[in-house]
Structures are given as structure tokens and as C-alpha cells.
Amino acid sequence: MELRHCRIHISPVLGIRLIILAGIGSCVFVSSFSSEEALHNSNVEPNAAHCPETYISKSYFKKHAYLLDPDFQDFMAHELHTGSCEALQDKLNLVPRLSILHQHLIGEGSHRRLSSSIRFKSLPESLPEVPAHFCEAIIIERLPSGVFADPFELQHLLQRGVFADAAVFGDINLELPSFRSNRSIVEIHLDIGPNILSGHKNEVEINIELPLHARYPPLGKRGFSAVQFGLPDLFLRCSIEGKSHNESCLFMSTHGGAESQVVAAVWEVPCGIKEHEGVVSVITFITAIVSALLIVLTSIHYSDITDCNHLKQS
């Protein structure tokens, strides 16, 4: 009863908050709730006419239960409407692309950061006639099952303004070992800036550090299990000012040319050794039983002794 009573008092406060949120109703605001769960839970959904699905990966998981590389490649090739952009119809080949410069892991142990360096390079011919626009880089990391990103940690980074948007999709159970878990996707959005397509900046280099955590790997023979990363999928999304409404244009960057030289990171995670199985089980149980017996024997034999002379005189 007390609980319900309290909720009545609270809901108006929250209601007001939601009204304010709905009033603002912009894509940017909604994105501040960006973990997969938070988006699902939020009552405030972006207006579909002006703002397409914030997260590309969310569309994938609407159709697929698990992350499988062939499915995702198929999804990118056929279901993402990349390159269709009215405002830039005849200049699509002039739109600059993003490319990955290098990817490596920082730190040691079970909690490390995947550092990726991404380059945005303007083409020699800029597009002066493009209407006012704002672009963001979208980085999609398809994580191997041996690692996970903590959505709540990402939320913390979002609050600190490290990313414009970030969300985790797929298996977000943080506690399962890798042989019981499925893969997940981390999608990060970073603001590149206004009117970048028509600007004269030659090159922008973006560094991102994504905190990741190792799951317990399957048992092995040599004591370490290699977790192999893939290169991220890169997109450029620009919101271009139109007459009636803003148009959102999505451009995909493919790894080609010099970029293919980039070596994806590998994480060596310590793993249990299968040969330990028998010895560990036997010694564990013997230790438990011996300890238990010692306590039992002490309780039976020594609880009778109540020597007052030894009492602590404090």
C-alpha cells in the first residue's frame, strides 16, 4: 500500500519530465538514453518522418535474434538505404568517406579499451552548393563472443559527453562465460561537425576508446584463448536541410585500398586448462570435507571446555 501511495506522489514529477522530453522530442535528446534497454523503455520515440531510426544496428536486431556475420553483411548490402539522398543526387561519388587507420587494445587484464583511429578526409573538390548540413560518424563494432561492452558504462561515458550516442545490441548478459553467450554489437555515434561536406578542412582524425570486458573463455590447452576482433563498419550520416524537411543521408564506407592493411586487434584472455579438471575437483572436495570435519570435531570436543580462568579481563 505504501508503495502505491508513493508512486502517486512521484508520477506527476516524472510525468512533467516526460512532457518536457516529448516537447523537445529531438533525435539528439532521445539519444541520451542510449542503451538498448533505455531506448526500449523510453516512452519518447523519435519522430519517424524527420528522424530515421537512430541506431542502424537496432534495425538489424528487429529482424534477427543473433548476430551472425553473413546476416549482418547481407543486411548492410540490401536493407540499409545507403547512398540514396535527394539533396546530393548527382554528387554521391564526391561524398568523402571514413577510413580506419589502426585498431589496437589498450591496457591489460580483463578490462581493456579498444582504441580505433578513424580518418575523415575531404575530397579535393568540395561541394559548395550543398545546403546546410550536420554530419556524424557511425562506428559499428561487431564484438566477438569473448568480450562485451557494459551498456551502463557506456551510458556513463555518454553523460560525460565522450560520445554523441552509443548503444549495445545483442547479448548484453554481462556475466555469462563466452561459451554460453552470443555476440553483441556496439554502435557509437560521433559528431563530425556542421557543413563538413562543403568545408575546406582537409582531414579529420577521430580516436575512440571503447571500454570492453573479457568473458570467461572456453577451456583450452595452452592457458590463453585468442579473441579476434574484426574491423568496424563505418558510416557517415548527414542531416541536410531541405525545403520542407531535413533529409537524412547515410553513406557507408568500405574497407579497401590502404585500409585493408589495417590489422584487427587480438586479445589473449587467460583460460582454464582442461587437464586440471580431475585434480582440481578432487582436491577441492577433499579440502572442503577435511575443513568441515575439523569444525565438526572441534564443536563436539571443545565446546565442553569453559575455563573461566582464561577469560579476558578487559
Which positions touch other proteins (CB under 8 A)?
A: 3, 6-7, 10-11, 13-14, 37, 41, 108-111, 151-152, 172-175, 177, 179-180, 216, 218-219, 223-224, 268-274, 276-277, 280-281, 283-285, 287-289, 291-292, 294-296, 298-300, 302-308, 310-312, 314
**To the nearest whole angstrom, how small is the minimum distance from the Cβ of residue 306 to other proteins?**
5
CA distance 137 to 135: 7
Nearer to other proteins, 92 or 294 (CB): 294
Nearer to other proteins, 258 or 308 (CB): 308
Nearer to other proteins, 202 or 281 (CB): 281
**To the nearest whole angstrom, how small is the minimum distance from the Cβ of residue 109 to other proteins?**
4
Nearer to other proteins, 241 or 268 (CB): 268
73: left (phi over 0), alpha (psi -120 to 50) or beta: alpha
Nearer to other proteins, 49 or 305 (CB): 305
**To the nearest whole angstrom, how small is the minimum distance from the Cβ of residue 140 to other proteins?**
22
**To the nearest whole angstrom, how small is the minimum distance from the Cβ of residue 208 to other proteins?**
18
Nearer to other proteins, 84 or 287 (CB): 287
**To the nearest whole angstrom, how small is the minimum distance from the Cβ of residue 249 to other proteins?**
35
**To the nearest whole angstrom, how small is the minimum distance from the Cβ of residue 160 to other proteins?**
10
Task: Say how many C-beta atoms besides its own lie within 10 A of residue 91's C-beta.
Answer: 14
| Long-range contacts, 180-183 (Cβ 8 Å, 24+) | 181/145, 181/148, 181/215, 182/66, 182/67, 182/145, 183/66, 183/67, 183/142, 183/143, 183/144, 183/145
**To the nearest whole angstrom, how small is the minimum distance from the Cβ of residue 98 to other proteins?**
29
- Name the amino acid, one letter, at 248: S
Nearer to other proteins, 203 or 302 (CB): 302
**To the nearest whole angstrom, how small is the minimum distance from the Cβ of residue 190 to other proteins?**
22
Nearer to other proteins, 21 or 262 (CB): 21
CA distance 50 to 59: 17
